[in-house]
Amino acid sequence: MHRKPLSLLLTLMLVITMTMSAKVSAFASSYTVQADDTLYKIAREQLGDEARWIEIYKLNKDKIKNPSAILVGQELQLPGDSASTENATTQEAKADSAKTESNTSKDEEASFDRDLSIKIHLSELDFMRQVEGPIYVAGHKSPDSDTVGSAIGYAALLSKLGIDAKPRVFGDINNETKFVLQTAGLETPELLEDASGLNMILVDHGDYEQSAEGMKDANILAIIDHHGDGSVGTSNQLLYEAKVLGSTATIVCTKYLDYGVEPDKKTAIAMLGSILSDTIGLKADTTTLADKEAAKTLAKIGGIEDIDAFYKDLYKALISHDGMTDDEIFFSDYKEYEAGGKKYSIACINVYDEEEAKDLVKRMKTASAASLKGTGMDMAFAQISIFHDDISVAYLVPSDDTASEVLKEAFGDKATIEGDAYILRPGISRKKEMVPAISDVLEAFPKEG
């Protein structure tokens, strides 16, 4: 029992000491991190120049693991507000190198280069800080996962740098992107229908044709794209970043590195989805080392352990027909042709496995037969394909008996017939094999009347 007063006293002394040291450090210009603070914001508000965030970072390197993720309540030392920042930095560098003359001076040089590189890159955003109102970041119409993930990633990056940027979409997102956003725990960006008069940043496209209404009357600040030079022209200052990489999200990822910040977990997953979608799971010819490295880094930040498994789920979601009617499925990738005086159509449908293919055969038989009236076609075909990993199968479904005869003539010797479907292994391409074979048969048919 007699120990209690002693421990109380000790605690009291400790509290007093802590309070005093806090006070002392407060006089030596310290700052307690508040909610929504960034190093940039603190530098802007406390030092009058956000570019000086690097000085705060250097002074507090022992406490700040990631300059883009400072903790609320953290006590940060601020540099003396002598007019010459150059001086403070030089003195600090001198003190540092005096402390450790040997190997570490090399590290200091390297870190100086890195800081300078970040500062130089950050300066390219200066003009964006002058605009009034929010800046909207959006990809092309008929948004895919790269367009959506790049918009989310770039808007999040600018936000981290203290710029008021928000992601937007120019249309409904597809099932694959829905899956990515769900995995990331992100909301679908709001729909933007008319860009007139708004501050805009375009990602993953640079064409008015692929952009929202009113884009010609928008204030376009930046274009980040991996396609060719688009039709968007502006006499205003424009940050134009075009790189020959597999996805726009990879370019955005390089911007994070340029500015020395790290995406948060949700953003990282969205951007990983972008890269995998555009590079077909890092297997497309357009895939670069940058795409692979960016994907690896983003997967790590996003806590995605198996990139291949994640891509498989993406692909399954992309080709899933959840919530679609038979007509919507039939017309989702539908094309019309003519040969030997006959008009015909081929609808391509991708599925993940044979179970799904078999389920769709009956439904597409009905849908293709029903399509003839409205489209004025003489016959219609549905081509249901399974094409991933090393599986390659095509289920060809004719609209009626005439169409069935054409299929028999064209593929009878290669196909196995199961109910209404002609099954080909390996599968075929609509453009390179299906169309020429059917056209050949129709041209050989004797013309009626």
Kindly give, in sequence order, each residue whose CB lies less than 8 Å from that of residue 184, ignoring residues fewer than 6 positions away. Answer: 265, 266, 267, 269, 270, 273, 302
- The answer to whether 278 contacts Mn ion (rule: CB under 5 A) is yes
- The answer to whether 204 contacts Mn ion (rule: CB under 5 A) is yes
Pair 345, 381: CB distance under 8 Å: yes
Point out the residue whose Cβ comes nearest to Mn ion.
Answer: 146
- The answer to whether 176 contacts Mn ion (rule: CB under 5 A) is no
- The DSSP output letter for 133 is S
Stretch that binds Mn ion, among 67-75, 140-148, 290-298, 338-346 (CB under 5 A): 140-148
User: Do the strands 199-203 and 190-191 form a parallel or antiparallel pair, or are they unpaired?
Assistant: unpaired
In whole angstroms, what is the distance from residue 3 CA to residue 101 CA? 49
Q: Which is nearer to Mn ion, 53 or 154 (CB)?
A: 154
Q: Which is nearer to Mn ion, 317 or 438 (CB)?
A: 317
Q: How near is the Cβ of 128 to Mn ion at its closest, in Å?
A: 23
Stretch that binds Mn ion, among 80-88, 100-108, 146-154, 405-413 (CB under 5 A): 146-154
Q: Which is nearer to Mn ion, 58 or 178 (CB)?
A: 178
Q: How near is the Cβ of 278 to Mn ion at its closest, in Å?
A: 4
Q: Which residues of 27-53 are buried (b: 16+ CB within 10 A; e: fewer)?
A: eeeebebeeebbbbbbbbebbeebbbb
Which uninterrupted H or E stretch holds 64?
Answer: none
Q: Which is nearer to Mn ion, 55 or 146 (CB)?
A: 146
- The answer to whether 55 contacts Mn ion (rule: CB under 5 A) is no
Stretch that binds Mn ion, among 100-108, 242-250, 283-291, 297-305 (CB under 5 A): 242-250
In whole angstroms, what is the distance from residue 167 CA to residue 57 CA? 29
Q: How near is the Cβ of 150 to Mn ion at its closest, in Å?
A: 7
Q: Which two tokens stand for residue 284?
A: 């497309």
3 state SS of 134: coil
| Residue 286 amino acid letter | T
Q: Which two tokens stand for residue 360?
A: 């769709």
- The answer to whether 262 contacts Mn ion (rule: CB under 5 A) is no
Interface pick for Mn ion out of 50, 67, 118, 146 (rule CB under 5 A):
146
Question: Site map for Mn ion, 95-134, x if CB under 5 A?
Answer: ----------------------------------------
Q: How near is the Cβ of 226 to Mn ion at its closest, in Å?
A: 6
Q: Which two tokens stand for residue 173?
A: 């997102």
In whole angstroms, what is the distance from residue 28 CA to residue 122 CA? 29
Q: Which is nearer to Mn ion, 55 or 278 (CB)?
A: 278
- The answer to whether 241 contacts Mn ion (rule: CB under 5 A) is no
CA nearest to 194, candidates 175, 217, 210, 176: 217
Give the footprint of Mn ion on this chain (CB under 5 A).
146, 204, 248, 278
